Amino acid sequence: MNPQWIAQRLEAFDEINAGFRKIYELSRSLKNPINLLVGQPDFDVPEPIKEAAIAAIRSGKNAYSPTQALPELAEKIRADLRSRWPDADRDVIVTGGTMGAINLTLLSLLNPGDEVILFDPCFLAYAPMVKLFGGVPVFVDTYPDFQVKLDRVAAAVTPRTKAILLCTPGNPTGVVQSRDNLKALAEFAAQRQIALISDEIYAAFCFDEPFISAAAFNPDTIVVSSFSKTYGMTGWRLGFAHGPRKLIDAMVKVQIVTYVCAPTPAQHAALTAWDYDVSHYNNLYRQKRDLLLRHLDPHFGVVKPGGAFYFFIQTPWGTGQSFVEACHARNLLVLPGHIFSRRDTHFRLSFAASDETLLQGVDVLNDLANERP
């Protein structure tokens, strides 16, 4: 094969792919590892949601849905939007996961060379996706507390700035943006006519305060989310986005020639999922967070996560990569922070695991913290 067949824009994914191959090979080489890698819920899809999907399949609801969404699911989501923002002209599209929603958003927004502000650290796929669609990622630092500082955002804006992409609660940090910071950012984006994309995939898991959407302060906010993390449906690939009607119309046009539609049986199951109460899962994750906070050695630099199911922890010695390698040598799997950041000072731990596994992991971490090379 001619190597020039491969598009140059895919080079943006080389580092991520190499990193994940290394982690995958490592996880396979370890025997019964203490696995705190996985960024997905540790509970199965609730039975009523499973039964709704099975019933849809058995009753023949297996054909394409309309590209925008199954009509009854779209109306259920619209009703929720009207109850929260009665005066906003918003519409919804159902997608192939949150990644699908972000892809459609970026494809509908970006012209070549447009800049997208991202917050460091952030989800590892954001920058490659921006590059894939012709955009330029611009990073704004959020260390040490991972809260967005408006002066740093303002300093990063140029005439080419098209969008700002924010995730709260965040991955990898679990940090929930404060109401004041969120309001300031949303109003700034509105004033500057910059598209604000709010990734709210972890909105169901907020531990200390009720979740607040950036759309509460900026009616043009594009919200992306999914059923994946909330209901343990990660493999079902079902997400959604809502935002200004004209942008959603554009995203529908893109979906016609890409994903066509979201999986139809999963959309029928989502009708049940939308009304399913997951507050008990939220309570369980709060307890797991608090368990780790009680047991982690004070040598670790920890910013208390307000949501999601991650800790982004500063290493007590060495680089993030070297500390993670020491963890792996003790059969503990965690992720190096540099895959989420331009810094190599932290590691990510997922607490979507049993309490027993978490305490085993903490024992290893605490031993390493007191074994400075």
Q: Which residue is it, tokens 């895959």?
A: 339
Candidates 167, 146, 123, 169; CA nearest to 307 is 169
- What is the rounded distance in angstroms from the CA atom of residue 73 to the CA atom of residue 272? 10
User: Which pLDDT score, from 0 to 100, does residue 22 have?
Assistant: 73
**Residue 373 confidence class, pLDDT cut points 50, 70, 90:** low
Alpha carbon dihedral 77, 82, 88, 92, in 10-degree steps, equals 10
Asked if the model's pLDDT at residue 13 lies above 90, the reply is no
pLDDT digits (tens, 9 = 90+) for 231-246: 999 999 999 999 999 9
State mean pLDDT over 258-264. 95
Using alpha carbons, list the distances in angstroms from residue 294 to 200, 287, 290, 369.
28, 11, 6, 15
With pLDDT > 70 as the criterion, what percentage of the chain qualifies? 99
Domains of the chain, each with CATH number or no CATH = 3-43+278-369 (3.90.1150.10), 47-273 (3.40.640.10)
Which stretch, 31-45, 81-95, 106-120, has highest mean pLDDT? 106-120
Secondary structure (H, E, C), the chain: CCHHHCCHHHHHHHHHHHHHHHHHHHHHHCCCCEECCCCCCCCCCCHHHHHHHHHHHHCCCCCCCCCCCCHHHHHHHHHHHHHHCCCCCEEEEEECHHHHHHHHHHHHHCCCCCEEEEEECCCCCHHHHHHHCCCEEEEEECCCCCCCCHHHHHHHCCCCEEEEEEECCCCCCCCCCCHHHHHHHHHHHHHHCCEEEEECCCCCCECCCCCCCHHHCCCCCEEEEECHHHHCCHHHCCEEEEEEHHHHHHHHHHHHCCCCCCCHHHHHHHHHHCCCCCHHHHHHHHHHHHHHHHHCCCCCEECCCCECCEEEEECCCCCHHHHHHHHHHCCEECEEHHHCCCCCCEEEEECCCCHHHHHHHHHHHHHHHCCCC
First to last CA, the chain: 48
Beta-bridged to residue 223, according to DSSP, are 198, 242
Q: Which residue is it, tokens 């009665």?
A: 86
User: Which pLDDT score, from 0 to 100, does residue 337 have?
Assistant: 94
Find out whether 299 and 307 touch, Cβ atoms under 8 Å. Answer: no
User: Which pLDDT score, from 0 to 100, does residue 109 have?
Assistant: 97
pLDDT digits (tens, 9 = 90+) for 34-62: 999 988 899 999 999 999 999 999 999 99
Opening angle at CA 290, ends 289 and 291, nearest 5: 90
pLDDT digits (tens, 9 = 90+) for 124-161: 999 999 999 999 999 999 999 999 999 999 999 999 99
Beta-bridged to residue 90, according to DSSP, are 244
User: Which pLDDT score, from 0 to 100, does residue 302 have?
Assistant: 94
